[in-house]
Amino acid sequence: MIVEIGHFALVLALAAALAQTVVPFWGARVGDLGMMDVGRNAALIQLALIAIAFAALVNAHLTSDFSVLNVAENSNVAMPAIYKISGVWGNHEGSMLLWVFILAIFGALVALFGRALPRKLRADALAVQGLISVAFLAFILLTSNPFERLSPAPFEGRDLNPILQDPGLAIHPPLLYLGYVGFSIVYSFAAAALIEGRIDAAWARFVRPFTLVAWSFLTLGIAAGSFWAYYTLGWGGFWFWDPVENASLMPWLAGTAFVHSVAVMEKRDALKIWTIFLAILAFSFSLLGTFLVRSGVLTSVHAFANDPRRGVFILAILAMFICGSFALFAWRAPMLKQGGLFAPVSREGALVVNNLLLTTACATVLFGTLYPLALEQLTGEKITVGAPFFNLTCGALLLTACFAAPFGFSLAWKRGDLLGVVQRLAFAIIVGAVTAVVAVAWLSGGPIFAPLAMGLGVFVIIGTVIEVVMRSWRPGLTAGVALKRTFGLPLSFFGAALAHLGLGVTLLGLSGLGFGAETIATLHKGVPAIVGPYAVTLDSVGERVGPNYKESIASVTVRSGDTVVAQIEPARRQFAAREMSTTQAGLKTLHFGQIYVSIADPAADGSVPARLYWKPLVTLIWLGGAAMALGGGLSLADRRLRFGVATRAKAGASALAQPAQ
Amino acid sequence: MTRRGRRLALIAAALAVVGAAAGLSLYALSDSIVFFYSPSEVAQKAVAPGARLRIGGLVKTGSLVKSADQNVAFVLTDGAHDLKVAYQGLLPDLFREGQGVVAEGVLAAPGQMQAETILAKHDERYMPREVVDALKKQGRWQEGTTATQ
């Protein structure tokens, strides 16, 4: 019964979304305030209905109601409760429901906090947001119904794919979707601004918090996904340039460009058309990502289903929203008034360079991802474009962008003094260059990437710190005054500084790749195997029984010289329901580096085939990502940027004045 | 600087970055593309040794040999032709005889590959798409069943 209520709520949500699309849009055209306000209520009702549907599905999974096809195929009585819940989005239908749920949350946020906005803009934005909901709700109801019943109901479910039974999977998709779908708001507002034919700094001020939320979550989601791949796939890689990973990287690159250009628009009223273009681009890439992952064109752990109808449906949605918005852009963008002149050497100029590099990097990723698909359709030839391609193109462009980051961060708005900035950053430049040279000598003949990334990382970190210090302290100022000045700086400045620091930290983490060690060995009891500076010895092999699996555990001791530095227990898990086994890598963090041991099934004589890695600085890759996301959050907390704080009083006054008009 | 000069500077910068990216892409593309073949295609096209390839097929039942230092050898087949594969390292969790896998590596000699990466399916419902296509070509694929030798 609850399941049917969920299904019914989803159908009603489609009706609410239709109302949210048609009525406020029509109201905005004819100038009917009442009709425009329907959008607000429809968005809230839609959220409530989708929340009911989502809760119904979670309930079905938690109670292991195997009469629901989705539960029977992806759950199991013996699974721990947390995986029963994460199993809701560990499959195609459920993950699409999560997608629209988050879409509805963002729509409702606009409805709740958009009071300070011009009424027409809000009505149009909610209408576009509603249209996205209509498309995806129709997709779910017509091709991917999560509430489909199964008769007769089986006694036991087929279990969730064991490699998805992991805390990483519990958080990775929701984080990623908050990012992907968060850009829908930006898109809706861009479309609304184009429909209106008018855009100003207030638009940027309202859109920026949403951008920061989406960007921060996307950053976290990508970092979580990369960490998950690192420890579950058993070979220590954290980024494979897999099409599915690229699908999440592209909106991130476009979104990062947007975060920077929207700052220019907000502060200097410049780059309007470009910012609108990026807003459309970021969400278009989110949609493209959804298509690549969900349609079955790619085969990967993310592609759950291969129903061709779904692929065609998502392709139609993709074509409608991308072509529609770019047509609107081509038609209306020339009407937008440009403002805010700036010299090429200025903060704005540097942000233009940043945008150029990021969007070009994004284009190379797009090319490398779609080229094999296009080639196969056209010639039948099957190829893969491997990591070397992406490293050389996207990697080189992004490293250039990293090099430019501290310069841009230190330049003044409107007209900057490049020579002065170079002098200020001289210390950082020198230390960075020396680090790179020392690293080259150390590695002697290894790939140039590692020393370059290390030098750049050091440069970005020191350069950012210098700028933060220079903002609050000059020679001659007392500590008290400097402290006061520090507290006077806006939070968004610290947010940007933290994000740039995170970038430097990630670069340092990546540079560790060049200094690591890998050993493939068969471990025998008591015989040490050497990996980098450490010796790994097998102590014992045991068995353990978990809730829905059995595991073989190898206990190993890691020594540096004669001192024991760690005891770790890599394992192999056998899941009965799907006759599958997974690798649980044994990890030990030492000074930001990790010792990584993954094993195969123990042999009959008690020896264990294993892969051993020493990965110096590797944790910095994800810590840097977390710092970037935290920087986004810090900017969000800036009072000036909170939704309409400055304008709310005025809006209240005008709302009072309105009836009299 | 005049408005026109600024615009020109911007366009020049954009062209430089896009040009550099296009050049890099073409250069990188020329040596990082890897073709996917079935064992039959390798035989028919007489691919020269030294080429980097991805080859998909079924692991021939009874062909898997494990020796010291995690060296493994097995035979990939699509029914019509066989290809010997040598590999050092841990095999993926779902590597089994009679199942579809994709091996990426260098052709050491005709009919023999030194693999650097072995990819197997992620769960028991999934078979690498390339393998399915290769098997369909050979007429050895039955819809809805797991193909076995």
pLDDT digits (tens, 9 = 90+) for A98-119: 999 999 999 999 999 888 888 8
Q: What is the pLDDT of residue B122?
A: 52
pLDDT average, residue stretch B104-115? 87
CATH number for the domain whose boundaries are A1-163? 1.20.120
Residue B15, chain A, CB below 8 Å: the answer is no
Q: What is the pLDDT of residue A312?
A: 83
Q: Enumerate the residues of chain A whose CB falls inside 8 A of the CB of residue B146.
A: none
What are the angstrom distances between the C-alpha of B53 and each of A367, B64, B99?
21, 21, 20
As a whole-number percent, the residues of chain A with pLDDT over 90 amount to 49
Q: Enumerate the residues of chain A whose CB falls inside 8 A of the CB of residue B70.
A: 520-522, 609
For A262, residues 6+ apart whose C-beta sits below 8 A from its C-beta are A204, A207, A208, A211, A275
Q: What is the pLDDT of residue A281?
A: 94
Q: What is the pLDDT of residue A441?
A: 84
Return the number of other C-beta atoms located less than 10 Å from residue A350's C-beta.
Answer: 24
Q: What is the pLDDT of residue A219?
A: 96
Q: What is the pLDDT of residue A169?
A: 77
Choose the most confident range, by mean pLDDT, from A190-194, A582-586, A634-638, B111-115.
Answer: A190-194
Question: Which among B6, B20, B124 has the least Cβ separation from residue A579?
Answer: B124
Instruction: Check whether B121 has a pLDDT greater than 70.
Output: no
Angle, CA of A160, A161 and A163, to the nearest 5°:
125
Instruction: Check whether A580 has a pLDDT greater than 70.
Output: yes
- The residue ranking higher by pLDDT, A531 or B3, is A531
Q: Do B69 and A521 touch (CB under 8 A)?
A: yes
Q: What is the pLDDT of residue A649?
A: 42
Q: What is the pLDDT of residue B56?
A: 82
pLDDT average, residue stretch A634-660? 52
Question: Which among B33, B93, B129 has the least Cβ separation from residue A385?
Answer: B33
Q: Do B28 and A392 touch (CB under 8 A)?
A: yes
Question: Interface pTM (ipTM) of the complex?
Answer: 0.76
Instruction: Check whether B127 has a pLDDT greater than 70.
Output: no
pLDDT average, residue stretch B9-30? 85
Q: Do A386 and B13 touch (CB under 8 A)?
A: no
Residue A261, chain B, CB below 8 Å: the answer is no
Nearest CA in chain B to A386: B32
Instruction: Check whether B65 has a pLDDT greater than 80.
Output: yes
Q: Do A389 and B88 touch (CB under 8 A)?
A: no
For A492, residues 6+ apart whose C-beta sits below 8 A from its C-beta are A634, A635, A638, A640, A641
Q: What are the DSSP calls for A333-381, one per residue?
A: GGGSPP-----SSSHHHHHHHHHHHHHHHHHHHHHHHHHHHHHHHHH--
Q: What is the pLDDT of residue A648?
A: 43
Q: What is the pLDDT of residue B147?
A: 34
Instruction: Among A98-107, A162-171, B109-118, name the one with the lowest average pLDDT.
Output: A162-171
Residue A640, chain B, CB below 8 Å: the answer is no
- B-contacting residues of A 132-161, CB under 8 Å? 161
pTM over 0.80: yes
Return the number of other C-beta atoms located less than 10 Å from residue A143's C-beta.
Answer: 18
Q: Enumerate the residues of chain B whose CB falls inside 8 A of the CB of residue A386.
A: 32-34
Q: What is the pLDDT of residue A311?
A: 79
Nearest CA in chain A to B11: A356
pLDDT average, residue stretch B4-28? 84
Question: Which among B3, B10, B123 has the least Cβ separation from residue A578?
Answer: B123
Q: Enumerate the residues of chain A whose CB falls inside 8 A of the CB of residue B18.
A: 360
Question: Which among A299, A578, A581 has the least Cβ separation from residue B128?
Answer: A299
Instruction: Check whether A212 has a pLDDT greater than 90.
Output: yes
Q: What is the pLDDT of residue A344?
A: 79
Instruction: Check whether A647 has a pLDDT greater than 50.
Output: no
Averaged confidence pLDDT in chain B: 77
Instruction: Check whether A606 has a pLDDT greater than 90.
Output: no
Q: What is the pLDDT of residue B136?
A: 65
Q: Contact at 8 Å (CB) between A622 and A226? A: yes
Q: Contact at 8 Å (CB) between A428 and A436? A: no
Question: Which among A383, A393, A581 has the least Cβ separation from residue B93?
Answer: A581
Bridge-based pairing state of the strands A517-523 and A549-560 = unpaired
Q: Do A360 and B18 touch (CB under 8 A)?
A: yes
Return the number of other C-beta atoms located less than 10 Å from residue B30's C-beta.
Answer: 9
Give span(s): CATH 1.20.120, chain A.
1-163
Q: Do A393 and B32 touch (CB under 8 A)?
A: no
Instruction: Check whether A285 has a pLDDT greater than 90.
Output: yes
- B-contacting residues of A 102-131, CB under 8 Å? none
Q: What is the pLDDT of residue B97?
A: 82
Question: Is the C-alpha dihedral spanning B102, B108, B112, B116 positive or negative?
Answer: negative
For A496, residues 6+ apart whose C-beta sits below 8 A from its C-beta are A409, A631, A635
Residue A400 Cα, gap to closest chain B Cα (Å) = 10
Q: Where are the alpha helices (DSSP H) in A233-307?
A: 243-268, 272-294
Smallest CA-to-CA distance from A598 within A581, A580, A588, A612 is with: A612
Residue A21 Cα, gap to closest chain B Cα (Å) = 38
Smallest CA-to-CA distance from A281 within A335, A326, A317 is with: A326
Structure tokens at A572: 């192999």
Q: What is the pLDDT of residue A645?
A: 44
Residue B36, chain A, CB below 8 Å: the answer is yes
Question: Which among A161, A388, A583 has the least Cβ separation from residue B122?
Answer: A161
Of the pLDDT bands very low, low, confident and very high (cuts 50, 70, 90), residue B32 is confident
Residue A418, chain B, CB below 8 Å: the answer is no
Residue A386, chain B, CB below 8 Å: the answer is yes
Q: Contact at 8 Å (CB) between A181 and A103? A: yes
Instruction: Check whether B132 has a pLDDT greater than 80.
Output: no
Averaged confidence pLDDT in chain A: 87
Residue B35, chain A, CB below 8 Å: the answer is yes
Q: Do A609 and B18 touch (CB under 8 A)?
A: no
Q: Do A393 and B28 touch (CB under 8 A)?
A: yes
How big is the A-B interface in CB pairs under 8 Å? Answer: 111
What's B148's DSSP letter?
Answer: -
Q: Enumerate the residues of chain A whose CB falls inside 8 A of the CB of residue B37.
A: 382
- A-contacting residues of B 59-98, CB under 8 Å? 68-70, 88-91, 93-94
Instruction: Check whether A297 has a pLDDT greater than 80.
Output: no
Residue A116 Cα, gap to closest chain B Cα (Å) = 36
Structure tokens at B108: 């050491």
Amino acid in position B42: V
Return the number of other C-beta atoms located less than 10 Å from residue A411's C-beta.
Answer: 22
Residue A120 Cα, gap to closest chain B Cα (Å) = 34
Question: Is the C-alpha dihedral spanning A411, A413, A418, A420 positive or negative?
Answer: negative
Smallest CA-to-CA distance from A118 within A659, A650, A660, A601 is with: A650
Question: Which among A385, A386, A582 has the least Cβ separation from residue B93?
Answer: A582
- The residue ranking higher by pLDDT, A231 or B92, is A231
Q: Contact at 8 Å (CB) between A283 and A186? A: yes
Question: Which among A344, A384, A600 has the least Cβ separation from residue B54?
Answer: A384
- B-contacting residues of A 161-190, CB under 8 Å? 161, 163
Q: Enumerate the residues of chain A whose CB falls inside 8 A of the CB of residue B6.
A: 341, 343-344
Nearest CA in chain B to A573: B93
What are the angstrom distances between the C-alpha of A125 and each of A10, A207, A320, A331, B79?
22, 11, 17, 18, 58
Dist CA A296 CA A308 (whole Å): 8
Instruction: Among A24-38, A81-95, A163-177, A618-632, name the one with the lowest average pLDDT.
Output: A163-177
Q: Which residues pair with A564 in a beta bridge?
A: A559
Q: What is the pLDDT of residue A365?
A: 94
Q: Which residues pair with A326 in a beta bridge?
A: none
Q: Contact at 8 Å (CB) between A132 and A317? A: no
Instruction: Among A241-255, A263-277, A637-651, name the one with the lowest average pLDDT.
Output: A637-651
What are the pLDDT digits (tens) for A398-434?
999 999 999 999 888 888 888 888 888 999 999 999 9
Mutation for testing the A interface, residue in B10, B29, B146 having most A CBs under 10 Å: B29
Residue A370, chain B, CB below 8 Å: the answer is no
Nearest CA in chain B to A342: B6
Q: Do B93 and A352 touch (CB under 8 A)?
A: no
Q: Enumerate the residues of chain B whose CB falls inside 8 A of the CB of residue A163.
A: 93, 122-123
Q: What is the pLDDT of residue B50?
A: 81
Nearest CA in chain A to B18: A360
Of the pLDDT bands very low, low, confident and very high (cuts 50, 70, 90), residue B141 is low
- The residue ranking higher by pLDDT, A123 or A267, is A123
